[in-house]
Structure 1
Amino acid sequence: MKKTAPKKPAAKKTAPKKTAAAKKPAAKKPAAKKAAAPKKASAAPKKAPAKKAAPKKPAARKEAGNSFGARKTLKVGKRSYTYFSLPHAEKKGLKGVSRLPFSLKVLLENLLRFEDGRTVTKADIEAVKTWLKTRTSDREIAYRPARVLMQDFTGVPAVVDLAAMRDAVTNLGADPKKINPLVPVDLVIDHSVMVDKFGTQTAFKENTEIEYQRNRERYEFLRWGSKAFNNFRVVPPGTGICHQVNLEYLAQTVWTKTEGKEEIAYPDTCVGTDSHTTMVNGLAVLGWGVGGIEAEAAMLGQPVSMLIPEVIGFRLTGKL
C-alpha cells in the first residue's frame, strides 16, 4: 500500500500547463501594438509634399526687380557689364519714355535699377511714364545717388557721427570696422579759407600755411577719417572750390561696381551739401543739393525721398 502514495505528485505537474496556457493570450496583446505603430509612421510622410511650395517666393522677387525687362548685358572685349536699358523697358510696357527729358531718363534708370518691390515699386516706375501726360506728378519716389559730395562745414559733423557709431559698435562687442559709407563720399575742404595776405606772389602760399595752423585739429581729424573709413576721400585745402573740384576731377559720367558675380554700369548721379552742387548737371551728371542729414542718410545707403521733379526747358534761337 505504501507504493501507491507517489501518484499524487504527478497531478501537480499538470498545474503548470494551465498557467502556461493563461500566459499565451497576454503575449498576443503586445503583438497587436507593434502592428498598429507602423500605420502612424506611414501617415506622417504625407505632409512632406507641402514643403515644395516654398521655393516659389524667390522667383516672385526676381520678377519684382525687373518688371519691364530692362536688365541687359553689354560685352566689351572679354568683360561683360550689366546695365538697365530704357529702350527695352519701353517695349515691355513703358511706352513713350524715349520722349522724356534726359534728366528724367537718368532718374528712370535709377528706379529700374533699384526696383525691389518695397522702396521702389512697379507703380513708382509707371508714374514716370504718366508724367508725360501732365508734366507734373505728386508721386513720391526713392532716389539713390551714386555718390555724395561734402564740404568741410557739413562734412566734419558727418565724420564725427561715423566715429560715434564705431564707438557704439565697439561697446556692443562687434567689429567697428564694419561701419563705413556704403556709397563713395568725397569731402572737399574749401570753407575754411580766410584771406590774410594779398597783392603779392606768395599770398596764396602764405594764406594756405595760416589756414593749416588755424584748423590743425580739424584737418588732423579729417585725415584720420580718410584712412579709417572705406569709400571716403578727403580733398585737401588749397586744391579748389567744392563745385569746381566736382566738375573737373570727381565726376565720372559712368560708374561701375561689382555685385556678386556681376559688374554693373550706371550713370553718375550725386547729392551734395554745397549750394553749387547742381553745376555738375552741365556734364550730364544728375545732381541735387541737400542738407547734412539727407547727405548722411545717402552715405549709409538710405534713399532720398522726393517727388518726381518738374523739368524746365528753354530753347535758344538765332546766332551769337
Structure 2
Amino acid sequence: MASIDSLKTRRELTVGDKTYVYYSLPAAEEAGLAGVSRLPASMKVLLENLLRNEDGDTVGADDLKALAAWLDNKGAVEHEISFRPARVLMQDFTGVPAVVDLAAMRDAMTKLGADPEKINPLNPVDLVIDHSVMVDHFGNAKAFGENVEREYERNIERYRFLRWGSSAFNNFRVVPPGTGICHQVNLEYLAQTVWTGDEDGAALA
C-alpha cells in the first residue's frame, strides 16, 4: 500500500532506463520537518521508513514530527514508532520456531475453514542454517564435505522441515548448511544496498 504522503515527499529518480519512486528527506524538511538534515544517519533511516510507510494508522503525522524533534529534545521525549524492516535475517535457532509458528497458523486457518495460503511472512525473510556444525573430521582435504554430510545426517528432520517451509511460504528463503555463517552469507550474497519493491505498479526504492 502506498504511503498517504501527507508532506508530499514522494519523488522520482531515473537511472538508465528505469524509474524509481522514493521518499525524500530534503522534501520533508522543506515541508516543515525542520532540522532533519542534521539528524544522525540512523535517525534518517528511521524517518525515511516512516515517510514510506505513512498510512494514518500505524504511522501518522505525529510520528514524523516526533522523530524530527529528536535533535531539539535530545531524545528525552519518548515516542514509540512503527519501524518496518525491508527484510529479516534469521539463523536456524530463531528461524525454526518461527516456521513452526507459521505452520501452526496455517493449521488454525484450515480448522477455521479459511485459506491457509494467506499465512506468509509480510516482509522477505532469509534464514541461514549455520548453527549445527560439529567437527568430526579434520586435517585432510575431505574434512569439510564429510562434516557437512554428518551434519545432514544428524539434523535431517529439521532440514526437511525448513526445506518444506522455503517452498510453502512466500517471502521465505533458506540457505542450506555448509554455505557459511549467517553474517558472512548476508554480506557476500544476500544484502543489497537499496531494496526495491512494487508500489501500485511503480518501482519503490
**Which of 95, 103, 108 is the aligned partner of 1:163?**
103
* 1:199-214 correspondence to structure 2 within 5 Å: 199-214=139-154
Report the Cα offset of residue 78 of structure 1: 4.4
Note the 1:59-98 alignment, pairs <5 A.
65-98=4-37
Please provide the CA RMSD for this pair. 1.6
Q: Which residue in 1 is equivalent to 2:190?
A: 250
Identical columns (%)? 69
Q: Could you tell me which amino acid in structure 2 is paired with residue 223 of structure 1?
A: R
What is the distance in 1 between the residues matched to 2:60 and 2:188? 35
| Unpaired stretches in structure 2, ≥5 consecutive residues | none
CA distance in 2, matches of 1:248, 1:103: 23
**1:233-290 CA distance string (max 9 Å, x none):** 000000000111111111101111113222211xxxxxxxxxxxxxxxxxxxxxxxxx
- How far apart in 2 are the matches of 1:260 and 1:67? 17
In the alignment of these two chains, the number of paired residues is: 203
Return the alpha-carbon distance in structure 2 between the equivalents of residues 138 and 255 of structure 1.
29
Q: SS at 1:142's partner residue?
A: coil
Amino acid at match of 1:114: N
Q: Are positions 1:232 and 2:172 aligned together?
A: yes
Look up the SS of the partner of 1:196 in the other structure: coil
Match of residue 61 from structure 2: 122
3-state SS in 1 of match to 2:197: strand
Q: Give distance in 2, aligned partners of 1:131 and 1:176.
A: 43
Aligned with 1:209: secondary structure? Answer: helix
1:190 aligns with 2:130: yes
Partners of 1:68 and 1:94 within 8 A in 2:
no
Q: How does 1:1-320 map to 2 (within 5 A)?
A: 65-136=4-75, 137-265=77-205
**Structure with the higher helix share, 1 or 2:** 1
